[in-house]
Amino acid sequence: MVRWMVPLAPEALHAWAPVFLGLAVTGIVYASIIAIKQTDLKRLIAYSSIAHVGLIAAGILVWNKTGVQGGMVQMLNHGINVVGLFFIVDMLERRLGSRSLLDMGGIAKSAPRFAALFMIVLLGSIAVPLTNGFVGEFLLLNGVWNYNNWLGAAAGLTVILGAVYMLRAYGLAMFGEPNRQTADFVDVSLREWVVLGTVAGLVILLGFFPQIIVNLTDSSVNRVLGSVQF
């Protein structure tokens, strides 16, 4: 979108931006609602990713500096978070033979390190302040809000709905009474600790020092916006 679609057809974006933005915001809310209803953790994260990418698309489509820069930042941060979440699903499926939240529960009691790392990645995904997801989502929502207040308010539902489905999933998987399978859940191995610890470390590092990415993308964003003006 940034490098090819908008520069190739800027007049089309200018004319059809309200329609495209409406579709993007509808996708955010629709995918989030579907995610709330999921019991398959992998599908839940997949629909969560659709909602996050919809917000990134909306931020880019408004074509102001805040929105485009937010899109650039969030592309990286969402990539980090979703890799961590899918890795967590893989760990759960290999140990339990299931991705269903109905088959989980009480895992935090037998695997506290896994639960802690899962929580850090989850907080980044729902854009809690001082995590990597916060900066990108704040810029994106600010960019959409500056374009249209109503669209910005609707897009902002991603923060509320994201917290609902992610915290629900975490509560069902990690808390409650363990069953026969989860009672013997093995905590993270050294290899898993390295991978998941690296992801969790990036969530915290880029949350405390977002200027690492913002400064890196600033000149590119200015150049792209300067080359395509309405």
pLDDT value, residue 121? 97
Q: Which structural domain, as residue segments, surrounds residue 28?
A: 5-227
Distance CA 50, CA 24 (A): 10
Q: Which of 102, 74, 92 is nearest to 162 (CA)?
A: 74
Q: Which of 15, 66, 3, 20 is nearest to 230 (CA)?
A: 15
pLDDT value, residue 134? 96
pLDDT value, residue 230? 66
N-terminal to C-terminal alpha carbon distance within the chain: 16
Residue 166 near residue 126, CB atoms below 8 Å: yes
Residues of the chain falling short of pLDDT 70: 230
pLDDT value, residue 114? 97
Q: How many structural domains does the chain have?
A: 1
